[in-house]
Every structure is written in C-alpha cells, then in structure tokens.
Amino acid sequence: MNREMTTSFLLITFAICKLIIAVGLNVGPSELLRIGAIDFDGHLTVHSSDLASVSSDFGMLKSPEEPLAVLHPSSAEDVARLVRTAYVSAMAFPVSARGHGHSINGQAAVGRNGVVVEMNHRETRTPEPLVRAEEMYVDVWGGELWVDVLKKTLEHGLAPKSWTDYLYLSVGGTLSNAGISGQAFHHGPQISNVLELDVVTGKGEVMRCSEEENTKLFHGVLGGLGQFGIITRARISIEPAPQRVRWIRVLYSSFKMFTEDQEYLISLHGQLKFDYVEGFVIVDEGLVNNWRSSFFSRHNPVKISSVSSNGSVLYCLEITKNYHDSDSETIDQEIEILMKKLNFIPTSVFTTDLQYVDFLDRVHKAELKLRSKNLWEVPHPWLNLFVPKSRISDFDKGVFKGILGNKTSGPILIYPMNKDKWDERSSAVTPDEELFYLVALLRSALKDGEETQKLEYLKDQNRRIMEFCEQAKIDVKQYLPHHATPEEWVAHFGEKWDQFRSLKAEFDPRHILATGQRIFQNPSLSLFPPSSSSSSASW
C-alpha cells in the first residue's frame, strides 16, 4: 500500500470510527478495516456532502438517513470488491446500487450501517457506451443514463427500441424494474430488449449472463428489484433511428371509446401502425395546459370547457408516428388512414412535429421548467399500478370519477400493454390477463398548496385507491412496488414468489443487496426497528 493509499485508508477509517462513536453503529472494527483497505479503481468516500447527496431520493417520502460510506466505482471489479467484503464480514453490512436517485420510497437506501454504490457519478471514469452497429447492440455501464445512451447511439444513426418517458434514469435502475413507455405495446418493456448482462451477485461474484449463459440469473435480475445482483453492464438491442416524430393528441369524453381505441391501436402490426401509444386522464382543466406544456402553444391553450364531457373527466389519447425526412410526403396519408377508425372528439385534434431526440427527451423540458419554479424537489407520492383489462372500466368509475374528485396535482397516465411482449421468465410481475393497463398517478405534493395538493392528503388518497381495489377485488399489481408487510410481498409476486425466494438464497444468501426494498431482512439492520410506514420481511 503506497503512501497516498495509506493516508486515504486512515482518513476513511478514522471518519467511520468517529461516526460509530457518535451514533452507535452496528458495524464492527474488522468490517471498517476491510472496507478501508480495499484498493478501488474508483474511490470510497465518507465526506459529509457525499453522504448527504445519497441520503434521500426523488420521492422525498422518507426521512433522510446517511449511509456509512459511498463508493464511486470505476469498474465492475470495484463493485465486486465491496460486495465480497460485505459477504465475508461478520454483520454482512448492506450494499445498494444507486443510479440517478429516482426511486420513490427509499428503495436505494441502505440505512446507517450500509454502503451506497453511486453508479452514476460524473467525477468517476466508467466505461463509455460501446456501439456495435453491425451486430445492432450497444454495451453500456449499469449507471449510464438513458439520455446518454441515446446520444451515443444516435451518432451511428441507431437507437434502443424501448424507452421510459423520462430519460434521466440509469440503465441498471430501469432494468431492475421493467422500463416502460408508449413503445412497450410493440417492443415490450426495456427488459425484453436486453441481450446480455454483467452482474455482481450478493456473494461478490462478477457473472456474465444471457439466454445462453447463467440463464436463471439473467431472467431473475431483469425486473428483480436489485435483489440478486448489481447490473454493471447491459447489452441493449438497437435499431435504425427515425429522424422525426409526428406527435398527436386527441380527446375523448367516453372512457369506453377511449380504451377501445387504445386497444385497437396496440393490436396493429406491420408498417401501418403508430409507434407510440399512451394516454392520460384529465380531471382538472389546468392539467393539459400545464403538463408537458411544450406540446401546446401558450398562445393557443386547450380549453377543456369548450369540449362536451360526461361529468368532469376527459381522456386524452397520445400517439406518435416516426418517420424520416424522405418520407415526409407520405406521412400525412398514413396518419389519416390510422385516424379514420378512431372515435375521438372531432374538434380536439392537436398535432406537432419535432425531431426524434426532442420527443424522447420531452419530459426533461418540463423538469427544467419545474426546477425554475422550485417545484421539482418536492415530495412525489407516486402510485403506479398495472390494472387488468377486464376491470379497467370499474377502476375508471371508482377512481377517476370517484376518489380523485375534480382536482389532481400531476399527470395521470393510462395506456394498455400486451402481455405477450413480456418474458414471463423475468421477475417482473403483471396481471394474469393478456392485456393490462398502466395507471400512473404522478402527483407532486406542495407544502403551501391547496389541501388537495398536500402530502398527507395525497398519501391518504393512494391508500383509499388501494383499499378500493381490494374491496372491489380488482387484482392490481404495483409497478415500482412498495409493500409494508411480508404477506403483501408474497401476494405481489404470487406464483413467482417461490422462484424469487430461491434465487435470493442462491445469489444473495446473506441479504446484502437492495435492502431498501424491505423484501428480505439484512442481519445488520435487525437491531433497528423498521420505519413507521413499513416493516421488513424476514425469510
């Protein structure tokens, strides 16, 4: 160990020892010595600003809790060294990967006994995306943001097939859940477009996995909520990228017609189809003008009051058609043919045209506007549900036309997906029907807002929605799940639970990884009571 490394080791160990004395941590001296002595390619830090930066997330629903240390890795081996140290330590201290910190309920947190692996850190040199145009794939670091993957692949005229609405999310983060947007009806979620992974298991082993190699781990990690390994590399399928997008919104007053049209559109195959199908619910006139407002001109806002509706709820279908400049003469005709069979309100067609990259990055523009008004870093009590097609009408009556009233504080997305585009071998959980809907209530809580915008009101509304579904026997599944009891987690995974638990025992037997999900109990956390809003499962 050279002089510089020795100094760094002593500083880190001294700082952690001070922390132990101050707050009574449960990690012993041998663990500290092991952590401090690791020769990382990146760097380990206990600096207060680094600890604070990873102590909360986008949801801002949990009290900030600083970890023991933060690792900024430069390689998969860095991650493996840390996890191996945890695996052989007496207390098996928790380790959790953090991408862009966009979790809602503290899923990337480790508590004060653990180490956060900050996968996306600007000062740490990690592998650049490697595009293989001939083989039509791109290899990316697990902490890479999707927006940077897009930029790199576009240099070759290529792009991934399936997206999320927001691109400032890490590759490893979305693949640990599913990764969905309006392209999922055709290409499936992002986890259906992965060719190969490098994963650091809970034993600290770097394992390459795919359909042909370590298949069980490959499918388990995809949608596995970080329980079996940390994704350090993903090989993503890509395709030729279009140049432009025709972006269309139309309104409906009939939920039946709205859903019938959405279901018809996602049934189309071949060249003559829309490339993106989403929608949202309008229970508040201001919503359509304020959310993703770059779509509409501020000089020509949509007047909901001018559109006839049954009650107070309207539904907006959002569709796009991708094209190249060379196809500009035929794009109008193709769209006209597709639109003829739809039953929207004739006077409610709103269209814009933009570059492909600008469409994919559309939500970031809304983010910048919210940040300028100090409305981004606020609590986000989001609720994302997969609702079976057979019960979506009941959900509309009970929630959109019932519980929500006529006020909301954020967009409410709704769009259908085809189950046959999801690989059932993955850990992701969907309803047991061939077609199901995402309903995403993406609300923001405002401390000084109206009563209906306050955090406790919105959290109570989420609770009422879940209670309604249970009482009405609507078998919803949470996307980006958060459950409070072991029984709820078992119910969530259903038939997949036994396999899920078996994979945990094989690849993370000491329950080191992703303890913030609170699915399995980590031994170093057992001396501390669970938070008031949730309890830890212990199998």
Supply the residues annotated as catalytic: 102, 165, 278
8 A C-beta contact, residue 110 and residue 386:
no
Contact status, residue 302 vs residue 424, Cβ threshold 8 Å:
no
Over the range 217-256, which residues count as b (16 or more CB within 10 Å of their CB) and which as e? bbbbbbbbbbbbbbbbbbbbbbeebbebbbbbbbbbbbbe
Contact 316, 280 (CB under 8 A): yes
| Beta strand ranges found along 9-111 (DSSP E) | 43-45, 69-72, 95-98
Rounded-to-integer distance, Cα 513 and Cα 531, Å: 19
Is 426 within 8 Å of 223 (Cβ atoms)? yes
Is-contact 227 97, C-beta < 8 A? no
Residue 197, CA distances (Å) to 6, 229, 234, 443 in order: 35, 10, 5, 33
Residue with token string 């999310």: 169
Q: Cβ contacts of residue 440 below 8 Å, gap of 6+?
A: 382, 383, 384, 385, 411, 412, 413, 414, 479
β partners of residue 138: 131, 236
DSSP state at residue 513: B
CA atoms lying within 13 Å on the CB side of residue 507: 28
Tokens for 91, please give them. 């207390």
* Cα–Cα distance for residue pair 70/331, rounded to 1 Å: 51
Q: Are 334 and 272 in contact (CB under 8 A)?
A: yes
Tell me which H or E stretch contains 11: helix 3-23
Beta strands in 73-136 (DSSP E): 95-98, 115-118, 130-132
From residue 153, alpha-carbon distances to 156, 168, 442, 471 in Å are 5, 16, 29, 47
- The first and second tokens of residue 418, run together, are 């085809």
Backbone CA torsion sign across 440, 180, 512, 149? negative
Task: Measure the CA angle with vertex 251, ends 246 and 252; round to 5°.
Answer: 140
Q: Mutual orientation of helices 76-88 and 29-37 as an angle, nearest 10°?
A: 160
3-state secondary structure of 207: strand
Please answer whether residues 34 and 93 qualify as being in contact, where contact means their C-beta atoms are separated by less than 8 angstroms.
Answer: no
